[in-house]
Amino acid sequence: MDNKAALRQLLRWKRSRLEPASVGLRPRTGRGRRAPGLSQAQVAQLLYVSERTYAQLERGEMTAPAADFLDRVCSVLRLEEGERTALYAYALGHEPPRPQDPLAGQDIHGAWHEAVHSVTRPCYVNDVAWNVLACNEAFTTMFPRAPGAEPALPERNLMRYMLLRKTAREHHLMDWETRWARPLAAQLRKAVALYPGNTDLQELDKEVEDDPVAGPIYRTNPVTYVQPSGVTRPVRLPWPDPPGPPGGADRCCAAHLPSRTGQVTMCAAVPLGSPGARFFILVFEPAPPL
């Protein structure tokens, strides 16, 4: 089936499932057999466009329909998130730039909490504003901590930690300005643009811009958005030496456990039920002992 046929099938099917009374219109009357649901003319009326304009879209004859028009169609025909994605794919050849639901990506199915704990490597799920929604114990052990302290997240928002906290800048994320701060600033700028109604992102935007260290990077950094999946960056992770000869661990400072430098690779995926959220598995490869 080509895109035009698929688009026509999708929109006709959604029209057939909506009765006029359910959208505030009078039922159609008159002689003759009536197809169930809304007519093209009624959809056009709800969209405030001509019947011809809507018919062009449904036939697949509208060249590059505007995203806001497609979203209005989604609203009128009550398309679910997956159906909206299909509409964009059939009409434009690509997925929507952002989820339709402003809260999408801020929550995950409860099964993800169990799933991350079944993974042996460090892993976590964060929302569109980098708030951790679920993580396993292996992930919490990757953060610097004092001797005797239990592993724990330094704070729920990872972007705030990575860009604004001294521990991240000076003890955890190596080559912080070049390898971490610049690409993270680009990611944050894009997220703020994509989700203007997200209060967590708006607060982060202001905090980072006002920060004396991260602010200049955030305001002037020319780096464009970097997809995090597969990215490898240098880190220092807690790495207590086993009994016996030293195995390569040293100390970043007296306040933290012995640690080891190396490279962490971030393998990212998207939970299908939560567009905008990200699932990460982290693969750490320690640097060879000196």
Domains along the chain?
Answer: 3-92 (1.10.260.40), 111-286 (3.30.450)
For the record, the structure tokens of 240 come out as 């207590």
Q: Which residue has the higher pLDDT, 106 or 178?
A: 178
| 213-232 per-position pLDDT tens digit | 999 998 876 665 555 556 89
Confidence of residue 30 (pLDDT cuts 50, 70, 90): low
| 58-112 per-position pLDDT tens digit | 999 998 899 999 999 999 999 887 788 888 888 888 878 776 665 555 665 566 6
% of the chain surpassing 90 pLDDT: 47
Torsions phi, psi of 124, nearest 5? -160, 165
Cβ-in-10-Å burial (0-12, 13-18, 19+) of 219 comes to exposed
Edge to edge, what strands does the sheet with 132-135 contain?
A: 132-135, 123-126, 278-286, 259-269, 231-238
For the record, the structure tokens of 72 come out as 């209005």
Average pLDDT, stretch 261-288? 86
pTM beyond cutoff 0.85:
no
Q: Please check whether residue 264 is in contact with residue 232, taking contact to mean a CB–CB distance below 8 angstroms.
A: yes
Which pLDDT belongs to residue 2? 67
Average pLDDT, stretch 7-20? 90
Which pLDDT belongs to residue 33? 47
C-beta atoms surrounding 110 within 10 Å: 9
Confidence of residue 245 (pLDDT cuts 50, 70, 90): very low
Confidence of residue 241 (pLDDT cuts 50, 70, 90): low
Select from 109, 134, 115 the least CA-distant residue to 124: 134
* Identity of the highest mean pLDDT range in 30-34, 182-186, 210-214, 276-280: 210-214
